[in-house]
A and B are shown apart, each in its own frame.
Chain A
């Protein structure tokens, strides 16, 4: 079974971003970049399936400029077998990303495609579902556990009120939630080995996909700052403030 894992390069989760002064976008210049945490969990799950003997090959794919190769190498160091880079300078919305990934899947014919449930920059939570729709595959989003049985996949999902378990025929799409696994750290020998693993590069034109413009970002602004609060010295003072000043209890 081949597993395809689309991954994204994002600003590191611990970096607090700032909006550019001209309100056109978030300033990402010179910030620490990383593999999106949810994508890392997706890669880990695919590698575990391979280690368990369920998967035969793990292919990772990323879309962006040349810099995304750094995150593809990270995924290779975590245990993926080969990587595909779709080279573009354009900022693409999830539906365009999903179309490009469909072109990759049409060639790769993976039986299982694991995404991270959302990227921590755009916070869209769309790409896996859109890809599943374009491929007409069943999906299980927000997965916290997956079990492979013959040609079906049993997935436990984190939903608003608790947990839900679904069974999907393969090929299928899964999006990883936080508690699916705890990703490993890449060892130094594996980081060295990853440098020699195959990495193919395609352009959007190579894939024969025509993309369209869906939206314009009018502006990007910082959120309203909260006014600085006060420190109270005791529980009694806190209760007094909540009752008489804030009037919320």
Chain B
């Protein structure tokens, strides 16, 4: 049976996450379909068709799908479920919102944040903020799972999968009121090769300007610890950690971050970790490849200058 992947998009563009989830799906089986649900999302459909390894793109295009609500997305997925052995989505806010609803309606368990596909019914997922890895074998007829996108490479483009239009429309009682999304010219946290992240040690939101300058020198994204978000320095969508974004860039520069367990859960799969902190005892140094004990207000400007 085929595997269904729920596409991640904003009605205008397909997110790179979807290409990564397709790779996870291909590790399970050969026939992979992608569901694009949204409104006026023709460009997203084309991008999904182009992903290698996708044999069919299902399109549910209706105004009630514009806000990507779990309530009717779940009903749509449950309607399609009998044709599939697996239903996958990114462990994004959309996937986490929607797939548990799908699983409950199908009377199956849901497996969260899969990082390794062992076989078609066995998967590895982190628990306890990544301090343990559980290998789980599912007995359910349909496997419903969210996948940690950062654990898989993106499927390449170069395909033109067939398109099937879905006519049945599912309504929701949930009403969309408004949305405010952070607009940034920098790369997205989830897909950035380099991330510069700040913590409580930054002292204020204004001081994050310094990290933005550093990020721009490196072509990096800016992230933050929970402490910095809780203190109101930066918005919530920058949070890296157990309950924020889970990232695995080539280089993660932690500035003024102490290294609480829940923060480490979000970034310890980075290839290279740099920590800059004035407290030599900070736990962040235990996971850092390169540690610099220094006042960040001197070290960061110096770093910006030395990168020319």
Contact = CB atoms under 8 A, between A and B. Distances in A.
Nearest to B179: A164
Assign chain A's interface to a size class.
35 or more
Given A13-B261, A160-B94, A216 B136 contact: yes
A105 interface: no
B178 A232 contact: no
B44 to A, nearest CB: 15
B174 A126 contact: no
B133 A222 contact: yes
Contacts of A233: 292
A55 interface: no
B131 A134 contact: no
Nearest to B97: A141
Contacts of A118: 243
Interface in A205-249: 213-223, 226-236, 238-239, 241-242, 246, 248-249
A126 B110 CA distance: 8
Nearest to B251: A248
User: Which of A162, A220, A249 has its CB near the most chain B CB atoms (within 10 A)?
Assistant: A249
Contact of A232 (B135, B139, B292): B292
Given A11-B128, A26-B128, A162-B237, A213 B139 contact: yes
Contact of A167 (B10, B177, B181, B237): B177
Contacts of B272: 242, 246, 248
A203 interface: no
Nearest to B265: A123
A248 B243 contact: no
User: Which of A38, A95, A161, A216 has its CB near the most chain B CB atoms (within 10 A)?
Assistant: A161
B108 interface: yes
B132 A125 contact: no
A115 B73 CA distance: 21
Nearest to B112: A124
Contacts of A215: 109, 111, 136-140
A144 interface: yes
Nearest to A141: B97
Q: Is the interface of B mostly helix, strand, loop or mixed?
A: mixed
A231 B291 CA distance: 4
Interface stretch (A14-22, A42-50, A67-75, A188-196): A14-22
Contact of A165 (B179, B286, B288): B179
Interface string B265-281: 00010011110000000
A183 B226 CA distance: 16
B128 A123 contact: yes
A218 B178 CA distance: 44
Interface in A140-172: 140-142, 144, 154, 157-169
Interface string B113-157: 100000000100011111111111111100000000000000000
Interface string A116-137: 0110111111111111111000
Assign chain B's interface to a size class.
35 or more
A179 B262 CA distance: 15
A133 B237 contact: no
A237 B180 CA distance: 41
B244 to A, nearest CB: 9
A107 to B, nearest CB: 19
B292 A249 contact: no
User: Which of B97, B104, B250 has its CB near the most chain A CB atoms (within 10 A)?
Assistant: B104
Given A95-B104, A138-B71, A168-B174, A218 B303 contact: no
A120 B242 CA distance: 8
A64 interface: no
Nearest to A102: B104
A72 to B, nearest CB: 23
B39 interface: no
Interface in B42-83: 67, 69-71, 74
B290 A238 contact: yes
Given A160-B92, A220-B133, A223-B133, A121 B236 contact: no
B200 interface: no
A13 B303 contact: no
B101 interface: yes
A178 interface: yes
User: Which of B110, B218, B268 has its CB near the most chain A CB atoms (within 10 A)?
Assistant: B110
A126 B96 CA distance: 7
A242 B100 contact: no
7 contacts: A17-B132, A95-B103, A129-B70, A132-B101, A161-B237, A221-B135, A238-B292
Given A139-B97, A144-B236, A231-B290, 11 more contacts: A14-B261, A95-B110, A123-B127, A123-B128, A129-B101, A130-B110, A160-B92, A161-B237, A162-B179, A164-B178, A248-B272
